């Protein structure tokens, strides 16, 4: 059960300093902290916290008239997590714009002790992102991975941190539910996956195999790059490649949509949907 | 061949007034005018203008050092279309932010005299959007329609105008290449399509037929609604429905991704890809 709400009357109150001007700055990179927005994401954060799945809520800030609506969610949050409430003018003063949803939390990721690579099931579908620097695209990849039951996401170190506010929001909280790891180079990730029996499928407009015709296997990895540059040659040259057939007029689909289509095709091929 | 470039030295110059503070206001709704940004969209606008496909460039504004790079595109633009160039500080002063791409045009849509409904081919795949008010989603729908060779898009009157700056940008200019019409209610559009022999497939997380199992026909329409509210009951009750199989944990895919997956599945079923 959450703590009794504490009223905040000034945007300068130091207790809610982390929520100040959230559009202009971003807490990520500072001790794995992030901002969760909206009821759906708050619910996922509360569940992850309650079930010790790698994330904790540190503090919650609500528009006063939203507190009752999220009471059931707050009931899942331990009572050492402070809950602050504010009127609309104070809340807007804190965050720096009109926050019509009125539900915010400061969360923290707790890096796991186990190795994600070695914790994957015998039958697994994973997504690997290379150079995904756009926060929207990173968030969409998590949302798609959750929709099609992917088991994990691996991001190379040139991809953005999915804890960024916009990525988290676009993922509709899926960053909190799909296990992920962000480190090293795409090539190192793919070699490690290969060593663990994964069939690697890079996605590219010039891929050799029609995505509708790839041969399913127990362990499959889909690898996607940025829209502009695509995947590095060192990656494309070394692994099997797949393409989504499409109009010759257009360069390529948006990476989020392409990832969704390819994951859907692979999950279908593997009889996972 | 385009006109000789005219140098703009002040952000207050009335000749480039339409480009002023483009983020804050939007020209759309005013005589079907719109802002085209970037080299790719400028090229599509120039082609549409040169080949009289429903769009005209009215004026072009370039960062001076970008003019040479788009010379081949400008060569396709008639010489009564003025081309303005400005240094970076002047250009940023005009648009109100740092415009790193440095390529802008003011375009105009010329409503066609022919009826889009009656101009469709015997074999056709069309997309119908209902209540697509988000500019990103509208733009993505055009991009996906272009990628999978859809023949036309019909938007109901509650959907946003795809000429909006952000929709145009996200579509990567596909708003200029995929024929569309925005008018009346979704139900009226669907009745008109039915009368013309179209099989109507509404897309919903609770749709009856797995999207991978729909029976192809010569004329097919895919109908998508907003993420939150979905399609109105009056529409869902009257037509066949399809679903994209997905995790039970998640409410639904982003409408842009869902549209991409469904169009891909339908174009595949109809052997169009």
A209 near B CB under 8 A: no
Residue B44 lies in a domain: yes
Chain B residue numbers with beta carbons less than 8 Å from the beta carbon of A258 are 260
Residue A251: band (very low, low, confident or very high) from pLDDT cuts 50, 70, 90: low
pLDDT in tens, B20-42: 988 776 655 567 899 999 999 99
Q: How close A180 gets to chain B, by Cα (Å)? A: 18
Task: Quote the CA–CA distance of B114 and B126 in Å, as a whole number.
Answer: 17
Placement of tokens 């997956």 in the chain? B261
Q: How far is CA B72 from the centre of its chain?
A: 24
Helix (H) or strand (E) holding B188: helix B186-195
Tens digit of each residue's pLDDT (9 = 90 or more) over B52-105: 889 999 999 999 999 999 999 999 999 999 999 999 999 999 999 888 889 999
CB A133 within 8 A of CB A160: yes
Q: Are residues B101 and B144 in the same domain?
A: no
Number of domains in chain B: 2
% chain A with pLDDT above 90: 81
State residue B1's pLDDT score.
61
| Assembly ipTM | 0.90
* A95 and A168 co-located in one domain: no
A88 lies in some domain: yes
Least confident of A104-113, A123-132, A237-246: A104-113
**Do A13 and A40 belong to one domain?**
yes
Of A69, A89, A109, which residue sits at a domain end? A109
Six token digits for residue A39: 């009821």
Q: Shortest Cα distance from B146 to chain A (angstroms)?
A: 7
Task: Select from B167, B215, B193, B152 the least CA-distant residue to B37.
Answer: B167
A102 and A213 together in one domain: no
From the centroid of its chain, how far is CA B17?
Answer: 24
- Name the domain boundary from B109, B135, B166: B109
Query: To which residue do tokens 């396709």 refer?
Result: B76
CATH of the domain at B200: 3.40.1280.10
Give A93's contacts (C-beta < 8 A, 6+ positions apart).
Answer: A11
Q: Answer with the residue of higher pLDDT: A227 or A184.
A: A184
Reply yes or no on whether the pLDDT at A148 is more than 80: yes
pLDDT at B24: 73
Separation CA A20–CA A251 (nearest Å) = 41
CB contact under 8 A, B247 and A146: yes
* Of the partner residues A246, A254, A273, the one whose CB lies closest to the CB of residue B148: A246
Residue B102 lies in a domain: yes
Out of B143, B251, B261, the one facing A260 most closely (by C-beta) is B261
Q: Residue B86: enclosing H or E segment and its boundaries?
A: strand B83-86
| pLDDT at site A26 | 64
Size of chain A, expressed as the number of residues it contains: 273
User: What is the DSSP pairing of strand B103-109 with strand B33-37?
Assistant: antiparallel
Residue B230, SS3?
strand
Regarding whether B97 and B156 lie in a shared domain, the answer is no
- Residues B228 and B126 grouped into a single domain: yes
Among A137, A150, A225, residue whose Cα is nearest residue B256: A137
Distance of CA B270 to the CA centre of its chain: 24
B151, closest residue in chain A (CA to CA): A247
Q: Give yes or no for B249 touching A (CB within 8 A).
A: yes
Residue that is last in its domain, among B46, B81, B109: B109
Task: Write down how long chain B is.
Answer: 273
Interface check for B270 against chain A (CB to CB < 8 A): the answer is no
Task: Return the number of other C-beta atoms located less than 10 Å from residue A114's C-beta.
Answer: 8
Tell me which H or E stretch contains A135: helix A135-147
Q: Is B245 at the interface with chain A, CB within 8 A? A: yes
Residue A25 has pLDDT above 80, yes or no: no
Contacts of A260 in chain B (CB under 8 A): 253-254, 257-258, 260-261
Q: For residue B30, what pLDDT is reported? A: 65
Is A137's Cβ below 8 Å from some Cβ in B?
A: no
Mean pLDDT estimate for chain A: 92
pLDDT in tens, B213-272: 999 999 999 999 987 778 998 899 999 999 999 987 766 788 999 999 999 999 999 999
Burial A241-264 (b: 16+ CB within 10 A, else e): bbbbbbbeebebbbbbbbbbbbbb
* Structural domain contains residue B1: no
Residues B96-115: what's their mean pLDDT?
A: 87
Averaged over B134-143, what is the pLDDT? 95
**Domain-embedded: residue A133:** yes
Chain A residue numbers with beta carbons less than 8 Å from the beta carbon of B245 are 273
Flag the least confident range among A26-30, A81-85, A269-273. Answer: A26-30
Nearest residue on chain B to A245, alpha-carbon basis: B273
Are residues A243 and A216 located together in one domain of the fold?
Answer: yes
Residues B99 and B145 in one domain: no
Chain A contact set for B251 (CB, 8 A): 172
Burial call B34-67: b when 16+ CB within 10 Å, e when fewer: bbbbbebbbbbbbbbbeeeebbbbbbbbbbbebb
Nearest CA in chain B to A255: B257
| Phi and psi, residue B256, nearest 5° | -65, -45
**Mean pLDDT score, A88-117:** 89
Query: DSSP label at A206?
Result: T
CA distance A43 to A173: 9
Q: Which residues contact B266 (CB under 8 A, 6 or more apart)?
A: B125, B201, B211, B214, B216, B220, B222
pLDDT tens digits for B187-213? 999 999 999 999 999 999 889 999 999
Asked if B181 and B77 sit in the same domain, the reply is: no
User: CA B68, CA B70: separation in Å to the nearest integer?
Assistant: 5
Beta-carbon count within 10 A of A71 CB: 9
Tell me whether residue B187 is in a domain.
yes
Q: Are residues B68 and B145 in the same domain?
A: no
Residue A1 lies in a domain: no
Q: Is A273's CB within 8 Å of B246's CB?
A: yes
Short-list A251, A193, A179, CA closest to A222: A193
Token pair of A186, please?
Answer: 């795409």
A213 touches chain B (CB under 8 A): no
Q: In chain A, how long is the greatest CA-to-CA distance?
A: 61
Q: How far is B259 from chain A (nearest CA, A)?
A: 9
Measure Cα distances from A210 to A203, B170, B258 in Å.
Answer: 10, 26, 20
CATH number at residue B19: 3.30.1330.30
Same domain, B40 and B139: no
Examine the pLDDT at A3 and tell me if it is beyond 80. Answer: no
Task: Supply angle C-alpha A248, B244, B257, rounded to 5.
Answer: 45
Chain B: give the shortest CA distance to residue A94, in Å: 23
Chain B: closest CA distance from residue A142 (Å): 11
Q: Which domain holds residue B259?
A: 117-269
| Any A CB within 8 A of B14 CB | no
Chain B CB within 8 Å of residue A260 CB: yes
- Do A104 and A75 reside in the same domain of the chain? yes
Six-digit token pair at A238? 């070394």
Strand pairing category for A219-224 and A199-203:
parallel
Q: Is A245 on the interface with B (CB under 8 A)?
A: yes
For residue A41, being part of any structural domain is answered with yes
**Euclidean distance between CA atoms B82 and B92, whole angstroms:** 20
Give the whole-angstrom CA distance, residue A255 versus residue A203: 10
The alpha carbon of B262 is separated from its chain's Cα centroid by a whole number of angstroms, namely 18
Band (pLDDT 50/70/90 cuts) for residue A41 is very high
Residue pair B74/B209 in contact (Cβ under 8 Å)? The answer is no
């Amino acid at each position: 059960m959450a703590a009794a709400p504490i009223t905040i009357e000034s945007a300068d109150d130091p207790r809610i300093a982390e929520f100040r001007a959230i559009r202009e700055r971003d807490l990520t990179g500072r001790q794995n902290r992030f901002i969760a927005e909206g009821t759906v994401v708050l619910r996922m954060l509360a569940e992850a916290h309650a079930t010790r799945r790698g994330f904790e809520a540190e503090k919650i800030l609500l528009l006063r008239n939203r507190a009752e609506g999220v009471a059931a969610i707050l009931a899942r949050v331990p009572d050492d997590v402070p809950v602050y409430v504010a009127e609309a003018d104070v809340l807007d003063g804190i965050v720096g714009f009109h926050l019509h949803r009125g539900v915010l939390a400061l969360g923290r990721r707790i890096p796991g002790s186990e190795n994600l690579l070695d914790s994957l099931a015998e039958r697994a579908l994973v997504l690997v992102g290379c150079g995904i620097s756009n926060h929207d695209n990173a968030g969409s990849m998590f949302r798609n991975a959750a929709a099609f039951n992917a088991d994990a996401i691996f991001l190379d170190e040139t991809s953005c941190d999915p804890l960024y506010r916009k990525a988290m929001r676009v993922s509709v909280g899926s960053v909190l539910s799909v296990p992920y790891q962000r480190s090293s180079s795409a090539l190192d990730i793919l070699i490690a996956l290969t060593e663990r029996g994964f069939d690697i499928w890079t996605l590219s407009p010039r891929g050799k195999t029609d995505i509708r015709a790839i041969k399913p296997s127990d362990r499959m990895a889909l690898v996607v790059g940025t829209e502009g540059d695509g995947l590095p040659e060192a990656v494309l040259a070394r692994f099997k490649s797949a393409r989504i057939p499409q109009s010759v007029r257009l360069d390529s689909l948006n990476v989020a949509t392409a990832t969704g289509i390819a994951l859907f095709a692979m999950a279908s091929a593997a009889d996972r949907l």
